[in-house]
Structures are given as structure tokens and as C-alpha cells.
């Protein structure tokens, strides 16, 4: 039945049935059925039930915290990631290849490892945490700690989406701007940055989506105080530990809706930019 939905046009290439069969079976088993089960749980709980779970101060506080900090972290990564992409794509300096590889470390390093490492670093007895303490500040177990963890996990997204776009910019476009009388700074602001914007926004959305759902690197450094430093994914874990499957599903659905919205935004950005400038 599903195969009929995705019927191929006549093609001499073999393997459509097998390939599509494997794809749809796996997709169903791993992604569609579980997500369906989540939605079904929410449906049986009813919209009123979902709403009553979500509409409590503690859940609102957690969602608001997750969102606000994920957004700030994504903005930081948008700016720093674009700068990083520019430096890596345009400048020659010793060790550039190494630095380029290091950018991907947050993708490769398990989140739990990142979590305990950041906590050790930013706790009051850690290197940076101690520094902050001597200035009367606290980083770990506050919002600042969560923010740092979210910046860490989202760091590579913008750089990795923007870097190839920089590499493809024609030098002639920059030269044209200069021959028209524009200084370098004007060229960067009016010509180059707008060309990078669609890719940068895609990276921003990916970084945001990742940060909203992030769990492993955050729970160690967050302190997890209800209403203060408790993130939304942690609430799901807590509900599950209390065997409150309805409650967990309600928050899960709320987060899923948020993720879908962001996925939609990413796609819209890409369609918009393709229409305007003919490439992503």
C-alpha cells in the first residue's frame, strides 16, 4: 500500500521495489510507528488533557527556559559560526586544517562527556568557574551554564552550512562592488553577508532545533531546579520516572510541534532563497 503511494515512473533501473521496501519498513519501524504511538497517546489523553499538562507553571517555565536559552545560543552561534566560517574559508594560517577539524568536535563528542567536562570546567572549583567565582559570579548550576552547554552542542551547524557558500562566492562580485566605489566594510555588509544569509539562517535553525531538544550535555551543568534551571526534556524524563505517560506524551508533543515548526521554517528559508537567488 505504501509502495503504491511512492510509485516510480517507468525506469530501466532495477531495485526500486527492494530499495523502497527497505526504506519504508525501516522508516516505519524506527520513526513513524514510535512517533505515531506518541501522537496516539496524546490523542487518547485528549487535547484538554495535553493542555492541562502543558499549562502549568512548571512546564511553561521549562519550555520558556529551553526556548529562550536555545535561541540565545543559536544567535551566538550564528555570529561566531559565520565569523569562523569566514576565517576558515578565506584566511591562510598555520594549523588551519586542524582548526577546521576541531570545529566538528561538538558533533563527535558524546553529549554526556561534554556535559561532565563543561560542568568540571565551569563549576566553582573548576578553571573557568573559579575565575568567575573570584569575580563574584556563578556559571554552572545557573542559566549561564545551560547557555554554555547549548552553545557547545550547536557550534558547528552555522559554520558547516556557511563555509561552502563562502567558498563558492565569485571573487568578481566582490571586485565589482569595489569598482563601484564601495569600501571593504560596505562590501561585506551589503554584498557578502546577504549572500550568506540563507545558509546562515539554515544553520541557525538547525542549531536552535538541536539546542531546544538537547539533554545530555545540559543536565549535568543545569542544576535542575524546578522553575529556575529545569529544561523541558528533563521534565519528560521526570514524568516517565513517575510513570505519568500521559504527562510525558503531552510535553513530548509540545516539543514535537516546536520541532516541526522549525523544520518548516528551514524549508521555507531554502525555498525562499532558491527562488530569489537561484541557489541555496
Partner 1 sequence: MHIEIDEIAKTFGATTALHPVSLPIPSGALVALLGPSGSGKTTLLRILGGLEFPTSGRVLFDGQDATGLSVQDRRAGFVFQSYALFKHMTVFENIAYGLRARPRRSRPPEAEIERRVTKLLELIQLPQIAGRFPNQLSGGQRQRVALARALAIEPRMLLLDEPFGALDARVRKELRHGLREIHDTTGLTTVFVTHDQDEAMELADLVVVMSMGKIEQVGRPQDIRARPATPFVREFIAA
Partner 2 sequence: MYDSTLNEPLLSPAEHAAPKWRPVTDESPLTKLVLIAIALGGLAVLVLAPLAVVFAEALAKGAAAAVTSLTKPEAWSAIKLTLIVAAVSVPVNAVFGIAAAWTITKFDFRGKAFLITLIDLPFSVSPVVAGLALVLLFGANSVLGGWLVASGFPIVFALPGIVLASVFVTFPFVARELIPVMIEQGRTEEEAALTLGASGWRVFLTVTLPNIKWALLYGVLLCNARAMGEFGAVAVVSGKIRGQTATMPITIEMLYNEYLSVAAFSLAALLAALALLTLALKTMLEWRHADQLAATRRH
**Contacts (CB under 8 A) with partner 1, residues 141-180:** 170, 172-173, 175-180
The beta-carbon contacts of 116-120 under 8 Å, at least 24 apart in sequence, are 116/220, 118/145, 118/148, 118/149, 118/152, 118/217, 118/220, 118/221, 119/145, 119/220, 119/221
Q: Could you say whether residue 185 binds partner 1 (CB under 8 A)? A: no
Stretch that binds partner 1, among 88-96, 118-126, 191-199, 206-214 (CB under 8 A): 191-199
Query: Measured from the CB atom, is 31 or 277 closer to partner 1?
Result: 277
Per CB under 8 A, the list member of 191, 240, 265, 280 interacting with partner 1 is 191
Cβ atoms of residues 222 and 230 within 8 Å: yes
User: Does residue number 92 form part of the binding site for partner 1 (CB under 8 A)?
Assistant: no
Binders of partner 1 among residues 195 to 224 (CB under 8 A) are 195, 197
65 CB contacts (<8 Å, ≥6 apart)?
143, 146, 229, 230, 231, 232
Query: Would you call 54 helix, strand, or coil by DSSP?
Result: helix
CB nearer partner 1, residue 69 or residue 199: 199
Residue 147, all three cell numbers = 547557555
Q: At what angle do helices 96-103 and 143-168 cross, to 10 degrees?
A: 130
C-alpha cell at 202: 539554515
- Alpha carbon of residue 140 to chain centroid: 22
Residue 155 site contact among partner 1, partner 2, none (CB < 5 to 8 Å, cut-off depends on kind): partner 2
Residue 278, interface with partner 1 (CB under 8 A)? yes
- Tell me: does residue 103 bind partner 1 (CB under 8 A): no
Among partner 1, partner 2, none, partner that 82 touches (CB below 5 to 8 angstroms by kind):
none
Q: In whole angstroms, what is the distance from residue 222 CA to residue 228 CA?
A: 9
User: Using CB under 8 A, which of 267, 268, 272, 277 touches partner 2?
Assistant: 267
Using the contact rule CB under 8 A, the part of the chain among 23-31, 46-54, 55-63, 130-138 near partner 2 is: 23-31
3-state secondary structure of 166: helix
Over the window 81 to 110, marking each residue x when it contacts partner 2 by CB under 8 A and - when it does not, the resulting string is --xx-xxx--x-x---x-xxxxxxxxxxxx
Number of residues that bind partner 1 (CB under 8 A): 21
Distance of CA 124 to the CA centre of its chain: 28
Task: Indicate whether 80 belongs to the interface with partner 2 (CB under 8 A).
Answer: yes
Residues near 21 by Cβ (< 8 Å), separated by ≥ 6? 3
201 binds partner 2, rule: CB under 8 A: no
Report residue 31 CA to chain centroid gap: 19
Least distance in angstroms from the C-beta of 55 to partner 2: 19
Shortest distance in whole angstroms from residue 264 CB to partner 1: 23
Q: How far is the CB of 266 from partner 1 (least distance, A)?
A: 19
Question: Given the rule CB under 8 A, which residues bind partner 1?
Answer: 170, 172-173, 175-183, 186, 190-191, 194-195, 197, 276-278
Amino acid at each position: 500500500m505504501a509502495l503504491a503511494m511512492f510509485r516510480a515512473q517507468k525506469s530501466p533501473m532495477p531495485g526500486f521495489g527492494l530499495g523502497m521496501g527497505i526504506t519504508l519498513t525501516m522508516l516505519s519501524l524506527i520513526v513513524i510507528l514510535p512517533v505515531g504511538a506518541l501522537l496516539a497517546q496524546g490523542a487518547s489523553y485528549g487535547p484538554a488533557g495535553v493542555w492541562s499538562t502543558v499549562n502549568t507553571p512548571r512546564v511553561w517555565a521549562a519550555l520558556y527556559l529551553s526556548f529562550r536559552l536555545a535561541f540565545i545560543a543559536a544567535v551566538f552561534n550564528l555570529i561566531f559560526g559565520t565569523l569562523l566560517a569566514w576565517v576558515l574559508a578565506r584566511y591562510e594560517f598555520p594549523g588551519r586544517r586542524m582548526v577546521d577539524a576541531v570545529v566538528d568536535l561538538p558533533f563527535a563528542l558524546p553529549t554526556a562527556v561534554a556535559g561532565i567536562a563543561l560542568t568540571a570546567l565551569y563549576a566553582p572549583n573548576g578553571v573557568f568557574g573559579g575565575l568567575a567565582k573570584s569575580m563574584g559570579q556563578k556559571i554552572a548550576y545557573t542559566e549561564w551554564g545551560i547557555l554554555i552547554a547549548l552553545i557547545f552542542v550547536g557550534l558547528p551547524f552555522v559554520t558547516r552550512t556557511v563555509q561552502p557558500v563562502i567558498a563558492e562566492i565569485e571573487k568578481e562580485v566582490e571586485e565589482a562592488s569595489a569598482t563601484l566605489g564601495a569600501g571593504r566594510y560596505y562590501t561585506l555588509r551589503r554584498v557578502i553577508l546577504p549572500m550568506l544569509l540563507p545558509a546562515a539562517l539554515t544553520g541557525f535553525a538547525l542549531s536552535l532545533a538541536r539546542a531546544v531538544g538537547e539533554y545530555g550535555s545540559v543536565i549535568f551543568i543545569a542544576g535542575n531546579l524546578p522553575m529556575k534551571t529545569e529544561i523541558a526534556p528533563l521534565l519528560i524524563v521526570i514524568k516517565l520516572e513517575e510513570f505519568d505517560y500521559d504527562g510525558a506524551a503531552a510535553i513530548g508533543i509540545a516539543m514535537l510541534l516546536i520541532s516541526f515548526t522549525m523544520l518548516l521554517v528551514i524549508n521555507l528559508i531554502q525555498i525562499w532563497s532558491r527562488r530569489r537567488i537561484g541557489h541555496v
